[in-house]
């Protein structure tokens, strides 16, 4: 049996195995008790189990007295926008993000439209752990309404925050691999409002992913091949809930998740002006972000892994922009979460205003090689021993232990931590060359 994953990132499991309607209903009821007799926004991606999971969530929420506004199939950041628009007490997204289609789950949001902060998460989980289920009488059950305009309003917010005049005249040729996810619903609305022509790969919004849904290079061969035709200026790929974005250049080269984030941060810092801009990213994000931010006299703050931690850092520091190295751009002028629609608009504006290609822009950034490895999650005791081993083996580096162990060297680093979303341990390594990166990895693997 697969393991049900519950963390600050939400709840995820394999449908019909570790995730069942009763568990989802229980979480919905716990969240409903936490928000009280107020309104919760519910939406989600295109997975085949969407309706089942959403029905259980809605049943749990309304049985606890919370009312629901169902916004349908939408990107995760659209739920965040809808929370703010409706003045709701929170939001629930039915998604397993980048996990395969047999998985589903839920993400929980607070009234600011960001993911739960640690104290909020602790309170909701205390209610979830309680065997009590709130069961309001017929006159106390929450109401359910629908809203079909949430994506359109989300796009309007983006266009208000980012002056999009001129994009329609840029004649940029765009290709997007939506891979049967929520982007298949949202992107046509975005590009119609931008007045731009766009082509799509795998455009049916049915959740039957044509390739592994995480937007990694190994999963994007069709997009890269199509870009090599020379018919497009930029290629984009989104994950199923359309919060993550990666870029493929005009030659069909996958530029990398971190470099996709870096390109967007570069543009924002180039346009906002001001001294010493603050940028927030997570610990496993490439050093290229720091290189870019340093050009503008700015400072990078690193947080624990997880969108909620990055968002909290952005709020505390009043940072200009941030995100995660997996291709997640967070632009506070639009919202408190990763948003692939924002990322696409920023990248398109950079190309249109600079007159440069993606490959020309990326060529100005220092190059690093990043290795991403994962291992089956060991017992808690074994994990503890592994982290202690990391501290010993890499005692010659600067150690950051706020999330696992990260050893930092002058031009390289290695980070080992348990995953929040899968039953695995993740190992990230970055160095200027492949040999140097593998050398660091070997030190960890064969210690």
> What residues does 374 pair with on adjacent strands?
426
Q: Taking a C-beta distance cutoff of 8 angstroms, is the pair 274, 295 a contact?
A: no
> How big is the CA angle at 435 (ends 431 and 441), to the nearest 5 degrees?
70
Dihedral angle of Cα 379, 381, 382, 384, to the nearest 10 degrees: 120
Could you give the C-alpha distances from 190 to 46, 261, 341, 365, 429, in angstroms and in order? 18, 20, 8, 29, 36
Per the annotation, the verdict on 97 as an active-site residue is yes
Q: Taking a C-beta distance cutoff of 8 angstroms, is the pair 200, 184 a contact?
A: yes
Tokens of 213: 């849904």
Kindly report the number of other CB atoms within 10 A of residue 198's CB atom: 18
Query: Per DSSP, which regions of 285-419 are E strands?
Result: 299-303, 321-324, 328-330, 369-376, 398-400, 405-409, 412-418
Owner of token pair 């493929």: 248
DSSP secondary structure, 111-153, as one string = TTSSBPPHHHHHHHHHHHHSS------TTTSPPEEE-S-HHHH
Quote the CA–CA distance of 344 and 349 in Å, as a whole number: 9
Q: Angle between the 76-86 and 150-161 helix axes, to the nearest 10 degrees?
A: 90
Of 9, 63, 67, 97, catalytic: 97
Enumerate the active-site residues: 97
């Amino acid at each position: 049996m697969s393991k049900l994953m519950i963390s600050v990132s939400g709840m995820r499991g394999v449908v019909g195995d570790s995730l069942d309607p009763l568990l989802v209903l229980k979480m919905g009821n716990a969240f409903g008790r936490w928000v009280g007799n107020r309104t919760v926004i519910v939406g989600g991606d295109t997975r085949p189990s969407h309706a089942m999971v959403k029905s259980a969530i809605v049943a749990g929420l309304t049985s606890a007295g919370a009312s629901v506004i169902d916004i349908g199939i939408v990107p995760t950041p659209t739920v965040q926008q809808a929370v703010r628009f409706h003045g709701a007490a929170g939001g629930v997204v039915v998604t397993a993000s980048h996990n395969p289609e047999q998985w589903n789950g839920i993400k929980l949001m607070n009234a600011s439209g960001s993911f739960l902060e640690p104290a909020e998460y602790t309170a909701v989980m205390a209610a979830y752990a309680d065997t009590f289920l709130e069961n309001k009488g017929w006159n106390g059950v929450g109401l359910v309404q629908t809203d079909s305009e949430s994506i359109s309003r989300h796009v309007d917010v983006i266009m208000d925050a980012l002056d999009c005049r001129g994009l329609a005249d840029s004649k940029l040729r765009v290709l997007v691999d939506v891979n049967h996810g929520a982007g298949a619903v949202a992107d046509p609305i975005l590009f119609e409002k931008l007045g731009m022509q766009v082509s799509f790969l795998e455009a049916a919004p049915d959740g039957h992913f044509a390739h592994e849904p995480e937007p990694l290079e190994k999963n994007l061969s069709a997009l890269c091949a199509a870009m090599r035709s020379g018919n497009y200026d930029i290629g984009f790929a989104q994950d199923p809930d359309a919060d993550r974005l990666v870029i493929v250049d005009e030659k069909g080269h996958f530029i990398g998740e971190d470099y996709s984030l870096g390109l967007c941060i570069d543009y924002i810092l180039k346009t906002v002006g001001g001294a010493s801009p603050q940028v927030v990213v997570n610990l496993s994000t490439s050093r290229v972000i720091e290189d870019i931010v340093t050009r503008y006299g700015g400072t990078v703050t690193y947080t624990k892994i997880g969108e909620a931690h990055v968002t909290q850092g952005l709020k505390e520091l009043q940072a200009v922009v941030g995100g995660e190295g997996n291709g997640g751009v967070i632009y506070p002028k639009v919202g408190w979460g990763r948003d692939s629609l924002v990322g696409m608009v920023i990248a398109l504006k950079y190309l249109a205003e600079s007159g440069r290609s993606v490959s020309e822009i990326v060529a100005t950034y220092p190059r690093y090689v990043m290795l991403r490895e994962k291992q089956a999650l060991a017992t808690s005791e074994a994990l503890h021993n592994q982290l202690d081993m990391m501290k010993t083996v890499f005692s010659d580096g600067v150690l950051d232990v706020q999330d696992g162990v990260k050893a930092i060297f002058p031009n390289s680093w290695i980070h080992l931590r348990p995953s929040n979303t899968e039953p695995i341990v993740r190992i990230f390594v970055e160095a200027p060359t492949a040999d140097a990166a593998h050398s660091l990895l070997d030190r960890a693997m064969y210690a």
